Structure formats: structure tokens, C-alpha cells
Amino acid sequence: CPYVFPITTFPFLLMLRCEKLSHVLLGDYSALYSELGELTPCRVRQDGSSGNPQGGVTIYAGFDSRLERIKSIVGGRNNCNAKQKLSIAESLLERTVESVEIYSRIPELQIEFSLGLWLTTFNLEAGQPIWEVGFNKPSLGFLCIKRGVLHVA
């Protein structure tokens, strides 16, 4: 029997439903940062350059994640070059969150977006899954994995 955690276990995840993906950023080694909801203005870095905007919710999908359609994989970490990865990430812009699921014995994250796309995390390396959902507005902390279990900080 697969492990699926009911959304009622973490009712604040319901806040993600109907939120629009407003900004995406590919970090080092294909980590994906996604900002949901209304964006705050870009902050100014110490060197004077413009930083990235922040949404009401930040989703961080670590190095092992992929974008899926109903019956196929659009792309992931190992099968695309940097330009393709950015194009795939940007294909999520303006889509809304339909559902959020936390699955697997060692919890992973799957987010369904409008028009039939899913962002799915799955760690292939030893250690812990690398994903996080940060609630910025209101500041409710973040949900992540710590020592193999869901952790709210």
C-alpha cells in the first residue's frame, strides 16, 4: 500500500490551492525555486543588484525533481540542458495549483498545476529528500523533511 498523507494532516497546504505560480528560478545544479501568489518587489542585494521577488509561498524542489504530464515526463535534472530546463520551468508560469500531495514512506512532494502538469520530487541520493514549502505571507514557517519525517519549522 503506497503511503499518501491526507491533505488534512497539513491543512495549511490547502492554502496553495488556486494560487498562481508567479516566478520561477533555476538555482545551482537544477534546483527549482517557485514563487506562488502576489510577488513582493525585488530586494536589493548588498552589491546593489536586484534580487529575486518573493511570493506568498515559496516552493523549493531540490536537485531531483521532474515535470510530468498525465502519461509522460516532460523533463528533469538529467535529460535536459540548462536552456531546456529553464524553458520547462517557465512553462509553469501563470498556472494555478490544483492539488498538493505528500507521498511515499520517506515523504516526497507532488504538486498538480492547471492544464495537466505535475511537479514531482524524488531523491535519488543517500540522505533526505530535498524539498521545502515556505509560507511567507502570513509567516507560518516552512514544511520540509528532517530525519526522514515531515517537519514544520
pLDDT at 29: 66
Q: Which residues contact 66 (CB under 8 A, 6 or more apart)?
A: 73, 74, 75, 76, 77, 119, 120, 122
Q: Which 3 state secondary structure label does DSSP give 28?
A: helix
Q: Which 3 state secondary structure label does DSSP give 145?
A: strand
Report the candidate in 94, 131, 133 with the shortest Cα–Cα distance to residue 115. Answer: 94
For residue range 58-109, what is the model confidence (pLDDT) as tens digits? 999 987 888 899 999 888 776 677 788 788 888 899 999 999 988 888 889 9
Sign of torsion over alpha carbons 17, 15, 3, 1: negative
pLDDT at 90: 87
d(CA 96, CA 101): 15
Please report which confidence band the pLDDT of residue 1 belongs to, taking 50, 70 and 90 as the band edges: very low
Residue whose C-alpha cell is 530535498: 130
pLDDT at 27: 79
